[in-house]
Amino acid sequence: MARVMVVDDEPIVGSRLRPILERAGLEVEVFLDAVAAHARLGECRFDVLVTDLRMPGVDGLQLLERALEHNARVRVLLITAFATPELKRGVLARGAFECIAKPFRIGDLRDAVLRAAEASAAGEE
């Protein structure tokens, strides 16, 4: 079972995503606090990280770097209300698997997470 970390300081994101991802057979940990998520990434390997970009304390790019440091096979999906083509290019260049604009269809995000989990399992680093 793939392990997914969801990080967003807005509770609605975790509360909507967790049940949908669990229904898809994924093991999900949700964090409102990006600092706590940052620490957790050092303790445990996740196959997929879904994170907001702008958060207090630690931002999504710092989480991305931290996740890749500890597991080169992790796939990172950045979600943001401030998506632009430049931003998307920038985060993909830094190793993100996808950059998804908010608001998003919950089914689309679930499908993206499943693709990311497959890519992680395929083992390309």
Region binding other proteins by CB under 8 A among candidate stretches 23-31, 37-45, 59-67, 69-77? 23-31
| 104 in contact with other proteins (CB under 8 A) | yes
Specify the residue, 57 or 72, whose C-beta has the smaller distance to other proteins.
57
Q: What gap in Å lies between CA 37 and CA 16, rounded to an integer?
A: 18
Task: Answer positive or negative: Cα dihedral of 46, 50, 53, 54.
Answer: negative
Of 2, 3, 7, 22, the residue at the interface with other proteins (CB under 8 A) is 22
31 within 8 A of 40, measured Cβ to Cβ: yes
* Least CB distance to other proteins at residue 69 (A): 26
Shortest gap between Cβ of 25 and other proteins (angstroms)? Answer: 3
CB of 119 to other proteins, least distance (A): 19
Cα 104 from chain centroid (whole Å) = 14
CA distance 49 to 96: 10
Q: Does 84 bind other proteins (CB under 8 A)?
A: no
Q: Which stretch binds other proteins (CB under 8 A): 12-20, 37-45, 58-66, 85-93?
A: 12-20
| CA atoms within 13 A of residue 41's CA, in its CB half-sphere | 31
Question: Is 42 among the residues that bind other proteins (CB under 8 A)?
Answer: no
Q: With the CA atoms of 35, 125, 77 and 36 taken in that order, what torsion angle do they form, in degrees rounded to the nearest 10?
A: -10
Binding site for other proteins (CB under 8 A): 1, 8, 10-20, 22-28, 30, 32, 81-82, 102-107, 109-110
